[in-house]
Chains A and B, each alone.
Chain A
């Protein structure tokens, strides 16, 4: 290899080459600056958009905030055409939103984790792709299709076979006979939760499958080598190692469930009254807005916008809580 003598003056060719190289580098730098600013602009526009949405929601909701104040959160009545002034309260929709999302998670998290554990740890190779693709297809189905399927197929099935069985099974058990009280209904909080669970299943499954795949084989093999069963490996090695990612997936799913509109509006029954039975109709914030906004005006419309603002705050709180939970977990792991 020839050593380069830096003391030698540069030849003509070398000079022009270094010049052009400087030019190229400069133009590349220019491109970088443009790129940096463009991406900065994109990031800032998100903030502006978010701010704009919050401000316009707040302006739209102001008449309702001024009229009802804190009572809006604690009132269950929803009487938009009461004279002289409507009585409107958000307690029913808030209850429905939280409970339907919570029930959806109770159903979807174990099933979703089960699917991804099966896929990564136990599944024969030939089955792995078909199941994965089926799960991903579930995510691609538009929510209105879920709503119609829930309305025409799932609702009647649940009302005629599943709900009566559960109602009579728990009829003599205190507390549970109130939660699972009749009459069976085509449209109910439970049906909405079930539809939501099916809708968020792909999120939980896809993300937890991906993070399960990141567990180093060495760790798992060491555990197997120490005599662990598959269950022990999953419970003591795989899940602790991927906890953060799994919780992230669950939170993403929860965010989707909280805001889902069309499918829920189809199957939840749109009743503002809070009932103890999960087989009774209820409503969620987004379903209430979807079904009432077009025909509303004045204080009624303002209250619906306030409901939208509340959903915003609710989703934000849930995500913030998730963040805090993750941070605490990470700290505990660090100890």
Chain B
């Protein structure tokens, strides 16, 4: 009697749950950085078309694993796969939105944008060779600021992260020492510093710790009202982290001639370019098993590109119209949904 009533209850629950998993729902997994904008797009798309999107922000590496295992319709990653890797896995890749990574600090008396850093100095701070705020290298860049002699506390990510991949890629480009000792990857062997989980963990930690420095996606710096540093870019000019500076860096990217849209946007030329800019990518199978779901996913992405304003509202940089045209051509040529 009891057992049968339990079975009945289970059946009831499953029966109730079944309609929720709509056949038209698109599933995706991966990078945490674009999650806010994907969620916003998905919400608006659901209201407009009735089709839902289920995105799990489980991290770039995990997203690649999930799409290779074909458990999701699309994967998302901040660290792009190379053309060979894509070919091997039978995947098609394209950029979805872009963002900026900014050094944030907590130093008494220093306001946002007052402190200027260049690539080699930033690398040396994260290598632990520049130890105090009044180090000659920092003083040279900021002759007018009164810098304390206190030790610098470095805050970095403890988890693997696409943000870290782009940040360490930048440091590898500007510092030979960094390249040989640490290198560029989603999780690296940090020479110094305390590790915090996620962009919000680093932002929280820098906000709390006096004399600290860290790096976060621009949106997190803005939301947490953190003091950011201006950077010296490849052209030798001092730039601040603004949408315009991110766009200037993104405009340099030669998307048309990079197979698999493999482009890393750090250390781009141009007077107004922000040096640590990054794109986040979508991955789909060229010959998907579930053609209907993949077709629905492409419809969603096309719709998202038309609603780029939502990304701008959340401080992301939309892909330029010309690049969207290229991407749509790629979809038509490379992904077999029919």
Q: Which residues of A contact B (CB under 8 A)?
A: 77-83, 151-152, 155-156, 159-160, 182-183, 185-187, 265, 269-272, 281, 283, 291-292, 294-297, 300
| Chain A contacts for B204, CB-based, 8 A | 151-152
Given A186-B153, A295-B159, 8 further pairs, Cβ under 8 A: A80-B189, A82-B189, A152-B208, A186-B205, A187-B194, A270-B158, A294-B59, A294-B61
For residue B151, CB closer than 8 A to chain A, the reply is yes
Q: Are A294 and B58 CB-contacts (below 8 A) given A81-B185, A155-B208?
A: yes
* Bound: A152/B209 CA distance, A: 10
B151 near A78 with CB under 8 A, answer no
* Count of CB-CB pairs between chains A and B under 8 Å: 90
Q: Are A81 and B158 CB-contacts (below 8 A) given A156-B208, A271-B193, A291-B197?
A: no
Q: Which residue of A lies closest to B160 (CB)?
A: A295
Q: B194 contacts which of A79, A270, A292 (Cβ < 8 Å)?
A: A270
B189 near A292 with CB under 8 A, answer no
B208 near A295 with CB under 8 A, answer no
A-B CB proximity, top 6 nearest:
A295-B160, A270-B195, A81-B185, A270-B158, A79-B189, A269-B194
For residue B268, CB closer than 8 A to chain A, the reply is no
**Contact string against A for B residues 178-219, beta-carbon threshold 8 Å, 1 for contact and 0 otherwise:** 000001011111100111110000001100111000000000
* Bound: A269/B188 CA distance, A: 15
B65 near A297 with CB under 8 A, answer yes
* Bound: A186/B204 CA distance, A: 11
Q: Are A291 and B161 CB-contacts (below 8 A) given A82-B189, A183-B153, A296-B61?
A: no
Q: Are A78 and B189 CB-contacts (below 8 A) given A265-B197, A295-B161?
A: yes
B61 near A297 with CB under 8 A, answer yes
For residue B251, CB closer than 8 A to chain A, the reply is no
Chain B interface, number of residues (Cβ within 8 angstroms): 30
| Chain B contacts for A270, CB-based, 8 A | 158, 194-197
| Chain B contacts for A297, CB-based, 8 A | 61, 65
| Chain B contacts for A272, CB-based, 8 A | 189
B209 near A186 with CB under 8 A, answer yes
* Bound: A271/B188 CA distance, A: 11
Q: Which residue of A lies closest to B198 (CB)?
A: A291
A82 near B197 with CB under 8 A, answer no
Q: Which residue of B lies closest to A88 (CB)?
A: B189
For residue B294, CB closer than 8 A to chain A, the reply is no
| Chain A contacts for B227, CB-based, 8 A | none
| Chain A contacts for B208, CB-based, 8 A | 151-152, 155-156, 186
A292 near B159 with CB under 8 A, answer yes
**Contact string against A for B residues 151-170, beta-carbon threshold 8 Å, 1 for contact and 0 otherwise:** 10100001111000000000
For residue B253, CB closer than 8 A to chain A, the reply is no
Among B62, B188, B194, max chain A CB count under 10 A is at B194
Among A80, A81, A269, max chain B CB count under 10 A is at A81
Q: B189 contacts which of A77, A151, A159 (Cβ < 8 Å)?
A: A77
For residue B60, CB closer than 8 A to chain A, the reply is yes
Q: Which residue of B lies closest to A78 (CB)?
A: B189
B195 near A269 with CB under 8 A, answer yes
A79 near B188 with CB under 8 A, answer yes
B195 near A296 with CB under 8 A, answer no
A186 near B194 with CB under 8 A, answer yes
The smallest beta-carbon distance between A256 and chain B, in angstroms, is 22
| Chain B contacts for A271, CB-based, 8 A | 190, 193-195
Q: A294 contacts which of B151, B159, B205 (Cβ < 8 Å)?
A: B159
| Chain A contacts for B150, CB-based, 8 A | 183
| Chain A contacts for B189, CB-based, 8 A | 77-80, 82, 272
Q: B187 contacts which of A80, A151, A281, A283 (Cβ < 8 Å)?
A: A80
